[in-house]
Amino acid sequence: MIPSNWYNIVPDLPAPPPPPLHPGTRQPIGPDDLAPLFPMELIGQEVSGERFVPIPQEVLDVYRLWRPTPLIRARRLEKSLDTPARIYYKYEGVSPAGSHKPNTAVPQAYYNAREGVRLLTTETGAGQWGSALAFACSQFGVECQIWMVRASYDQKPYRRSLMHVYGATVHASPSPVTGSGSKVLADDPDSPGSLGIAISEAVEVAAATPDARYALGSVLNHVLMHQTVIGEEALDQLPEMPDLVIGCTGGGSNFAGLTFPFLREKLAGRIQTVFRAVEPTACPSFTRGVYAYDFGDTAGLTPLLKMHTLGHGFVPDPIHAGGLRYHGMSPLLSHMYELGLFEAVTRPQNECFEAGVRFARTEGIVPAPEPTHALAETIAEALRCKESGEEKVILTALCGHGHFDLAAYDRYLAGQLEDYTLPQDRIDQALTELPG
CB contact at 8 A, 144 and 168: yes
215 within 8 A of 108, measured Cβ to Cβ: yes
Using only the alpha carbons of the chain, give its radius of gyration: 20
More confident residue, 187 or 296: 187
pLDDT at 17: 96
pLDDT of residue 350 exceeding 80: yes
> What digits encode the pLDDT tens for the residues 124-140?
987 899 999 999 999 99
Ranking 58-67, 266-275, 291-300 by mean pLDDT, the lowest is 291-300
Between residues 384 and 325, which one has the greater pLDDT? 384
User: Which residues have CB under 8 Å from 186's CB, separation 6+?
Assistant: none
**Share of residues in the chain with pLDDT > 70 (%):** 97
Sign of the alpha-carbon dihedral angle for 398, 399, 403, 405: negative
Alpha helix ranges (H) inside 322-368: 331-338, 349-363
From 432, 372, 362, select the one nearest 398 (Cα to Cα): 372
Confidence of residue 320 (pLDDT cuts 50, 70, 90): low
Sheet holding 86-91, edge to edge: 71-73, 86-91, 393-398, 244-248, 274-280, 343-347
Return the percentage of the chain with pLDDT > 90, whole number.
Answer: 79
pLDDT in tens, 137-190: 999 999 999 999 998 898 889 999 999 999 999 999 999 999 999 999 999 999
- Give the pLDDT band (50/70/90) at residue 425: confident
Band of the pLDDT at 194, cuts 50, 70, 90?
confident
Mean pLDDT on 86-99: 97
Amino acid in position 83: T
Mean local confidence (pLDDT), 382-392: 98
Task: Find out whether 125 and 250 touch, Cβ atoms under 8 Å.
Answer: yes
CA distance 413 to 128: 23
Tell whether the model's pLDDT for residue 413 goes beyond 90: yes
Answer yes or no: are the C-beta atoms of 282 and 265 closer than 8 Å: no
The confidence score (pLDDT) of residue 396 equals 98
Asked whether the predicted pLDDT for residue 429 surpasses 80, the reply is yes
pLDDT for residue 71: 98
pLDDT range class, residue 426, cuts 50, 70, 90: confident
Specify the DSSP class assigned to residue 371: H
* pLDDT band at 432; cut points 50, 70, 90: confident
Mean per-residue pLDDT of the chain: 93
Kindly tell me if the per-residue pLDDT of 322 is higher than 60. Answer: no
What is the band of 122 on the pLDDT scale with cuts at 50, 70, 90? very high
Mean pLDDT for the stretch of residues 308-323: 72
**pLDDT-derived band of residue 379, with 50, 70 and 90 as boundaries?**
very high
143-161 CB burial, b ≥16 within 10 A, e <16: bbbbbbbbbbbebbeebbe
Residue 371 has pLDDT above 60, yes or no: yes
- Is pLDDT of 111 > 70? yes
Phi, psi of 33 (to 5 degrees): -70, -30
Check residue 315 and give its pLDDT.
73
Spatial distance between the Cα atoms of 283 and 309, rounded to a whole number of angstroms: 10
Residue 203 has pLDDT above 70, yes or no: yes
pLDDT of residue 436: 67
Q: 405 pLDDT exceeds 70?
A: yes
Q: Residue-wise over 305-338: b if at least 16 C-beta within 10 A, else e?
A: bbbbbbbbbbbbbbbbbbbbbbbbbbbbbbbbbe
Rounded distance between C-alpha atoms, residue 163 and residue 193, angstroms: 19
User: Can you give the pLDDT at residue 323?
Assistant: 56
- 235-281 per-position pLDDT tens digit: 999 999 999 999 999 889 999 999 999 999 999 999 999 999 999 99
